[in-house]
Amino acid sequence: MTFEYAPAPESRAIVSIKPKYGHFINGSFVAGKKHFPTINPATEEILSHISLGGLSDVDKAVAAAQKAYTKTWSKLSGKERGKYLYRIARILQERAREFAVLETLDNGKPIRETRDIDIPLVAAHFFYHAGWADKLDYAGLGHSPKPYGVAGQIIPWNFPLLMLAWKVAPALATGNTVVLKPAETTSLTALLFAEVCQQAELPDGVVNIVTGDGSTGAAIVSHPGIHKIAFTGSTEVGKKIARAIAATDKKATLELGGKGANIVFDDAPVDEAVEGIVNGIFFNQGHVCCAGSRLILQESIADEVIEKLKVRMSKIRVGDPLDKNTDLGAINSKEQLVKIKELSAIGDAEGAERWSPQCNLSDKGFWFAPTIFTGVTQAHRIAQEEIFGPVLSILTFRTPQEAMDKANNTPFGLSAGIWSEKGSRIFWASQHLKAGVIWANTFNKFDPTSPFGGYKESGWGREGGKHGLAAYLKVGKETGAK
């Protein structure tokens, strides 16, 4: 007996998209000179036209942020700053469905995820950080913590509004003002967030949003009026930023790539582990820096897990992101789809064995079936490089130590997963894994109270929790013995 699902589309009537958007500078929208189209990756329909920010736009935004910092924001008490953030959190909750639909249209991710994960976490982030604004002296970060001034923030396309929240909420709570650039393909929710700032009567210039491409981001990074850079994106661009600011006093947090190991021991609860594996790599189409993109299975249970995984993967519904039943949405861009196809082809060429369930993929839009590769070795490029798509590389191990060695054998160190019913083994493994975030018998969980960030080439610093505040505060000099 098979279950069929009737289409259950979420209405898009709740959003109204303007044909053209400007930048959000000093509290109002300012027309851009050049524009580029932004599309729905599920249909290739042009949704709107976004301004391509240049040097002069960045200049204006930085000037507005500097003025807001010195004239208003730095003069407000933490208590009052916090109240603005609470207002923003509440408005985001009120308009959550609108944001969810818009995010799904612009990004291609399923409405189930934007509605149940992205947008609720966005509101939670603002609510959490709001409460820090008047408690920074108690955060234990050092004497009299002070903001840097203007933070330049550059965010990716995989969690557009959530990454905005991860950046803007702590920056504002700590008393910084911001110039933010959303990703080229996903600017719409950031621009809708600008309206939320207006509704919250956030003082002009505290949040400025300049849309554009990599050149706009580079202009922000190199702008002398910016004191702190926060970037989420690829390791390649992260290294470029590190080089660009090397000879300056600018501080930076970098949340970069990963090649997360999801390790399943022979005593793991297999059905739960299979759910965790699916969530680890197919959540958000695998466009997740901390995705569990390497499955490391104990040899004795490998066949059983792979078989169950294939059965489970056959139930993944790939299709219309606005359909409430959809599990796997569209790949965010043509460019990303090409990258996924290229690396998968390299997996074939290097001798790994590819498997995907039967999927009917639309001709329009950008799609990639959920895919696993078995017979992967550590030397394979699909075991070393971030694919950033719904593609899982499966390796096996015999001893726990071998699992650790394999898990740690990449230049990255962002995330890892451990599946086992044995407490001591979980703690042992979590001590040995060189990763900033480790999930034991779960995967891809996020929370504003929980610091996120990586070891090694996965970046610098943490976002979220007490640790995330440190990135936006300088502390007084401590001298001498106490």
Q: Can you give the binding site for other proteins, defined by CB under 8 A?
A: 124, 140, 142, 235, 238-239, 242-243, 246-248, 254, 256, 411, 426, 430, 435-442, 445, 447, 449-453, 455-457, 459-460, 462, 465-467, 475, 477-481
Q: Is there a catalytic annotation at residue 289?
A: yes
- Choose between 142 and 357: whose C-beta lies nearer to other proteins: 142
For residue 450, the minimal CB distance to other proteins (Å) is: 5
Residues contacting residue 248 through CB under 8 Å, at least 6 positions apart:
none
For residue 141, the minimal CB distance to other proteins (Å) is: 9
Closest CA to 296 of 209, 378, 390, 187: 378
- Choose between 29 and 455: whose C-beta lies nearer to other proteins: 455
For residue 281, the minimal CB distance to other proteins (Å) is: 17
For residue 385, the minimal CB distance to other proteins (Å) is: 16
- Choose between 362 and 441: whose C-beta lies nearer to other proteins: 441
Q: Which two tokens mark 174?
A: 């700590």
Q: Which two tokens mark 270?
A: 């297999």
Q: Do residues 212 and 177 touch, judged by C-beta distance below 8 A?
A: no
Measure the CA–CA gap between 413 and 83, rounded to whole angstroms: 36
Q: 377 to each of 161, 265, 280, 396, 450, how far by Cα in Å?
A: 36, 18, 20, 9, 33
- Choose between 23 and 115: whose C-beta lies nearer to other proteins: 115
Closest CA to 151 of 267, 68, 52, 45: 68
Phi, psi of 86 (to 5 degrees): -60, -45
Handedness of CA 367, 260, 383, 269 (dihedral sign): negative
Closest CA to 326 of 158, 117, 110, 118: 110
- Choose between 11 and 482: whose C-beta lies nearer to other proteins: 482
- Choose between 63 and 139: whose C-beta lies nearer to other proteins: 139
Q: Do residues 465 and 449 touch, judged by C-beta distance below 8 A?
A: yes
Query: Which of 255, 386, 457, 463 is labelled catalytic?
Result: 255
Q: List the beta strands (DSSP E) in 314-419.
A: 353-355, 371-374, 391-397, 415-419
For residue 408, the minimal CB distance to other proteins (Å) is: 11
Query: Which of 184, 197, 289, 463 is labelled catalytic?
Result: 289
For residue 267, the minimal CB distance to other proteins (Å) is: 15
Measure the CA–CA gap between 118 and 165, rounded to whole angstroms: 10
Active-site amino acid positions: 255, 289
